[in-house]
Amino acid sequence: MGMTENLLSTGQWLVTAVLFVLILVAALRSIDWQALRKDQALQHSFFGAAVVLGFLWQLRAGISPGLAIHIFGLTVITLMLGWGLAVLSGLLALVITVILGKEPPIMYAANGLITVMIPALVTHAIMRWERRRNFRNFFAYIFFCGFFGAGISVAIAGLSMCLLLWTSGTYDFDELVHEYIRYLPLFMLPEGFINGVFVTGLMVFHPDRLTTLDQRRYR
């Protein structure tokens, strides 16, 4: 989303930093490190996703500070790797954007929370919901977790960013509606389509790369 310096108050910066650390610790604890060390295909997916996201996030649009628009891509990464590894992969990608000068280092926690952690957690929650509902048609995984999961995750991330910018006094509510919120459905469509297409392709040709997919459930 492109949080730049001086957009958040000191209190908000501290809150986002604390949330960032707590979620990062939970992500690290959720990862099966032994399986990662043994599975070279998973390692390639992990590092490859970080590189792809790092360069994908260079393509962005936006006029006002903090209201940049770009494809997140975290939904397909979360479904491939699980939410813990997806968070780490996304944070590595964010390091690339910092090195290339697209993001300020001081806002790393805030950008990591909005751009990486929230989309990964939302996707994980939707995947868990789909699993609890015990759908037997594989299209449920594609549409709920892939297409809709991506759209909903970017919407929640965008609204969270707007909430931070509004409560900090950087923008008033009317400005956020005029410059960002009213366009949010348009952002959701390409995000859902791109992630959904990749999930569909992986499910058809490389279902083993989707670690969150339980193939035994589907007919």
pLDDT tens, residue order, the chain (219 aa): 666 677 788 888 899 999 999 999 999 999 999 999 999 999 999 999 999 999 898 887 766 766 777 889 999 999 999 999 999 999 999 999 999 888 889 989 999 999 999 999 999 999 999 999 988 888 899 999 999 999 999 999 999 999 998 998 888 889 888 888 888 888 899 999 999 999 999 988 998 899 999 878 776
Which domains, from first to last, does the chain contain?
A: 10-217 (1.10.1760.20)
Question: Within 13 A of 96's CA, how many CA atoms are on the CB side?
Answer: 18
Q: Phi-psi bin for 177: left (phi > 0), alpha (psi -120 to 50), beta?
A: alpha
Whether 144 and 130 have beta carbons less than 8 Å apart is answered as yes
Task: Tell me if the pTM is above 0.85.
Answer: yes
Phi and psi at 61, nearest 5°, equal -135, 160
Alpha helices in the chain (DSSP H): 10-30, 33-38, 40-56, 74-81, 83-99, 108-111, 118-133, 138-140, 149-167, 173-179, 184-205
